[in-house]
Every structure is written in structure tokens, then in C-alpha cells.
Amino acid sequence: MRWSIKPKPDTTKVKLLQKALNIDTAIAELLVQRGIETFDQAKHFFRPSLNNLHDPFLMKGMQQAVNRIETAIQNNESILIYGDYDVDGTTSVALMASYLKTKTKHITTYIPDRYAEGYGISYKGIDFASTHNITLIIALDCGIKAIDKVDYAAKKNIDFIICDHHNPGNTVPDAIAVLDPKQTDCNYPYKELCGCGVGFKLIQALATKHNQTINDLIPYLDLVATAIAADIVPITGENRILAYHGTKVINTNPRTGMRVMLEQTKKTSFTITDIVFTIAPRINAAGRMKHGNHAVNLLVETDETTAYAHAKDIEAYNQERKATDKTTTIEALQQIKDLNEQEKTTTVVYNENWHKGVIGIVASRLIETYYRPTLVFTKSGDKLAASARSVKGFNVYDAINACAEHIEQFGGHKYAAGLTLRPENYTAFKQKFEQVVNATIDKKLLSPEISIDSNITLTSITPKFHRILKQFAPFGPGNMTPIFIAEQLQDTGYAKPVGEDDKHLKLTATQHDGANFSGIGFNLGNKINLIKNKHYFSAAFSVEENEWNNKINLQLNLRDIK
């Protein structure tokens, strides 16, 4: 692993903040690194307030969207809530549907089939609306490039409101309203909302027309926090406020469907990281293995018995997904060995029997073993379909684009993409992709990077220090869990590999000043020889709580050892 240590922040700014907040240097440095330099900025950071959310009417198109929805409610029009099959899409649909159902009974939801319709707004969805006499579609987490689809709907006398957060093209659809803060002519102050976040701004605007305050909308924030976590958007600005209060709702009073799903995880409290690894995969599993409708049905359900039945189904899809991605990963790793491709710059594997719903997950799993741009192909009708994943710092979308002569179609962004091609073009594509990546990638990007905030001593890790660190949460892009280095460490003599196949490393580290800390290093079992016989070592780690025999102690979560 590459250790990348962040530059020291401005000493003057650190000292001023230290004095203003009465905190130690290490904490002040972390804050300044995150752009927090004044007492007021620190107050907003540590005490995120819903009162600091922006006025939703600052978003371009908001007034038109609210007017059209109000007209639909007054005229008893049927409204279709449309969203994609991933977590952001399904939570957005659940959010909008559950809110609008408090204003009108004429609400229908629609999630496209991952395999029959694909991503985004579909003609089939518009035909469904037309057949059911629906005159308004609210599209969430999709639609910013659906120019032809919106025109098609208009010919059927169906209006569109689009709530999206993806980058628009040169032209936007001719909808009644297009809500997307990434439009160049939209002056909304915060640009990094997820799809569900844009949907929340719309219900915030609608609420003002019904004499509701932001406090009336708190019950919807469990969905918004889930989408923010799953969509890996920056947890800064408004997203931090929404994620902070949304995780509180998840931990204290989640909606019925969410609560019964959480119960199946056997966890008692949830952070943003827990949402990413326990809640999001369950919601995603519906669209991967069966249909995204199942996730929406669970998230809008208010009857406990029905919610339990939905949650049971979702859990079954998730178990099926886990088993499928595990066997597929094993087969893919074996294929790399059989083809003797361990030393290549890319991973490209194919099996016609692999499940299309898990190939993206498998691509990510392969990167855990072979850290390089990866594509996993399977059969899809008479073509081959692939999911691509990349390593930090490398644009896989551009690399795929450079192989366009072999591809039928593709889409995505820097770190994740999808494509289809004809079977006869697979070998030529695979060769060209390897050539392109090998010629363009900076070879240091083929080693994973640990971004380190600062160098500290073990004595500085006190209960007070950790108490303040915990208040940096929620963590995520733009505000990652602080990672530290401590140097000149020694093991006290009890280090040992633990876990299945001795994969993990357990130790107690001591430093020259006598401070001792236990530590656990997941997947670091093979580093045991670096620390044996009192060898000095450096460790990169985060600080966490470990509960054992009803006692809570601080421990080092070791990320790497050198």
C-alpha cells in the first residue's frame, strides 16, 4: 500500500482555531484540513442544524414543479413516481410516494426492470402511465438526458417533472420542470445532492405550501441518509446535515419497513458505514435478483405484518445475492489464474452463466485481490454485457471510450461503467483495453493508497480525544474517518494472527513513552514477521471503541504496517 500523508495545515490557522475552541493541536489540524477554520464553521460542523438547509426555491425549476404538483392534487390527477432500481432510486420513490400519499390517494410507483428495461426512464414505463390514465410523472434519480422519452410522453399528454443529480448534456429534456443542481444555469448553493436529496428538496418546497415546517419532514430523513450513504456522495454541506439527522432517525425511530429490515442485521446501532455495508446491499438485492419494486414496497409499508413479509423476501434475495457473488468471484479468480493473467494491468473476465445482477459487485471484489481496472462480462441476450470498476485516480470511462470501435454501447463515469458488445468482438476489446490502460495509467495507481491525516503519539489518544473524533461523524467522501500514523512502535510480545486462515492480526503496541494500545489489523495476518522479536514498526490506523465483557476500551484499527 502507498502511504500518502496530507500536508500540514497552516500553523496560524491551527493556533487560532485551537484557542477559539480550546482543543488540542491534533484536533485543530484535522478541522483545518477539512476547511473548518472559525468558531462558527466548527459550530455548524459539530452541530449540524436543519435550520441551515437552503431554501428549496433557490433551485431552478422548483416553483414550476410545485405548481404542477399542486394542480395535479387539486384536480385529482393520477401521478406516477418513477425511479431507478438502485438504492438512490428506490429510496427516492419511497420518499416521494409516502409524502404525496398524505396529500392525495392517486399515487402509483414504478421501477423499471433491470434486465428488460435497463437504466433510466423507459418507453415501457411511459406506456404503463398512458394505459393507467396517468397525466404526471415525477422521475427521481434519472431523466436528465431522457430528451426523446419526455417528448414521447408529451405526445401521450403526460407531463414530466425530473429530479436528478447527474451531469446534464448540452440540452435538457422539455419537461414541466427539471430539478438538477448540476445544471450550469442553476444557482442552487449546494451541488452534491444525491437523487433522493433532490427529491427531499421538492417535498421541502411542497411542505411550505401546506404550512408544514422542516420538523414535519424529519421522519423522511431515514431514506435520505440511506441514499446519501449508498450513492457515495460527499458528506459535506447539506448532505452532512441530512445524513446526520437521517442516521438519528434510523437509530431512534425509523419507518416500519426500515425497522424490520434493520432487525434482520442483528445490529443495534448504525453509522453511515453500516448503512453502506448492511442496509444498502439488502435494498439493492431486490433489483439485482428479482425486481426493485420489492424494495419500494418494503420502504413505504406501514403495516407491521406485511412489512415483515416484505423484509423476509428482501433478506432471501440478499442471501441469494451473497451466495451468487461469492461463487462468481471464486470462478473469476480461477479464470485469471488459468489464463495466467496475474501480471496484467487490467482484469477482463467472462462467463456466459454469470448472473448479470452481481457482475458489478464481483468487479469490485476482484479489485480487492488484483488492484487494477476491471471488467466482468456475462451473456445478455445475443450480446455480452459488462460492469467496469476502476482504481482510485484512473478514469475507466475514458479507457473504455478509447476502445469504442469494439463496443455496441456504454455509459457511466470515472470509476464505474457498463457496456455491451457483440461476442465476436470480446477478444479484440480485451486486448485493446489492456493496451490502452497499460499505456495511460500511472503505475503507482496499481497500488492502493492510504490517505493519512497526521502523525501522532499513542499518549495523545485519550478518551477526550476520541470523544471529539466521534463528533466528526458522519464520515464519508469529503469527511473521511481520520487516519493517523504512529512511529517507533513495538509489539509487547503477544502479537498473533487470528481468524479464518489466520487472515487478521491482533497485537498490543507500545511506544517509547510507555503508552500501550491493543490493535486489530484486518487482512494483515501476513505482516506478523514485521513486528516479531521487538522489531520497530510504523502503523497507519484509525481509533475505535472495542466492547468486551461489557467494558469499552479504545483500540487501533490497523490499516497497514511498515
Do 437 and 458 fall into the same domain? no
pLDDT at 372: 97
Whole-number Å distance between alpha carbons of 314 and 483 = 35
Helices assigned H by DSSP within 4-158: 11-21, 25-33, 39-46, 62-74, 87-100, 123-131, 147-155
Do 15 and 130 fall into the same domain? no
pLDDT in tens, 114-153: 888 988 999 999 999 999 999 999 999 999 999 999 999 9
190-194, 267-271, 401-405: least confidently modelled range: 267-271
CATH of the domain at 367: 3.10.310.30
> Which distant-in-sequence residues (6+ apart) come within 8 Å of 436 by Cβ?
399, 402, 403
Domain boundary residue, one of 420, 446, 472: 446
170-174, 281-285, 544-548: least confidently modelled range: 544-548
Do 509 and 460 fall into the same domain? yes
Do 42 and 99 fall into the same domain? no
φ/ψ (deg, to 5) at 230 = -70, -30
Residue 211: all three cell numbers together: 404550512
pLDDT at 411: 82
pLDDT over threshold 80, residue 272: yes
The per-residue pLDDT of the chain, averaged, comes to 95
- Establish if 321 belongs to a structural domain: no
pLDDT over threshold 90, residue 427: yes
Do 303 and 379 fall into the same domain? no
Grade residue 546 by pLDDT with cuts at 50, 70 and 90: confident
Q: What range defines the domain where residue 192 resides?
A: 56-315
Whole-number Å distance between alpha carbons of 125 and 428 = 36
Instruction: Report how far apart the first and last C-alpha atoms of the chain are (Å, whole number).
Output: 10
DSSP secondary structure letters along 145-205: T-HHHHHHHHHTT-EEEEE--SPP-SS----SEEE-TTSTT---S-----HHHHHHHHHHH
- Is residue 558 within 8 Å of 505, Cβ to Cβ? yes
pLDDT over threshold 80, residue 513: no
Best CA proximity match to 427, nearest among 486, 377, 365: 377
pLDDT over threshold 90, residue 521: yes
Whole-number Å distance between alpha carbons of 393 and 437 = 12
pLDDT in tens, 480-496: 999 999 999 999 988 99
Do 402 and 504 fall into the same domain? no
pLDDT at 549: 80
- CA dihedral sign of residues 243, 248, 250, 255: negative
For cell 494491468, the residue is: 345
Mean pLDDT of 73-88: 97
> Which distant-in-sequence residues (6+ apart) come within 8 Å of 287 by Cβ?
85, 86, 90, 111, 114, 295, 357
